[in-house]
Amino acid sequence: MTDEPRRRTPLHQPLSALILAGIAGAAWAAWLGWDQHRDIGADGTETGPYEAWQVLGLVVTLLIPVVWAASRDYVPGAVIGTTAGLTIAAYIDWSDDASGLFGIGVLLLMLGSLAATTVVSTVVRAAASGRGGSPSNHVTA
C-alpha cells in the first residue's frame, strides 16, 4: 500500500498565513496584551510594561507553529503570517501612545519578526529537505 502525497491547492499558502497570523495575535494577547502598566523603581526609573519572561514565552510559543509550518513547506505562510499577526497586535496594543513613537516600535517589531521567522523557516526547511523532505512530500512503499 502506498500513501499518495497530499495535493496542495493555491489556497494552502494564504490559509496558512491567516492561521499563523491568528496564532501570533492570540499569543500576543496571552503573553503581552494583559500587562499595560509600567513599573516605577525606587530611584524613579520606569521599566516595562513587559517582563523578559513574557517576551520569552511569546517567542517560544510562536516558535512551535513556525517550525511546524516551515517543516511542511509553508514557509511563506510562516514568515508572512507570523509577522503580520505580531505587527497588527503591536499596532493595536501600542497605538494609544500619545508621543506617536509607537510607529517606530511597530516598524522595528515588524522587521525583527520578519528577520527571525525567515531565518528559522529557512533553517527548518533546509533540515527537512536534507532528510528527504517533509512526510507529506514523498511516497512511501
Instruction: Report DSSP state, residue 7.
Output: P
The grid coordinates listed for 48 are 516595562
Place of cell 523578559: 52
The grid coordinates listed for 80 are 508572512
What does the pLDDT look like over 50-63, one tens digit per residue?
Answer: 888 999 999 999 99
Does the pTM surpass 0.85? The reply is no
What does the pLDDT look like over 12-62, one tens digit per residue?
Answer: 788 999 999 999 999 999 999 877 777 777 787 776 688 889 999 999 999
Confidence bin at 133 (pLDDT 50/70/90)? low
In sign, the C-alpha dihedral spanning 8, 9, 11, 13 is positive
Q: What is the pLDDT of residue 139?
A: 41
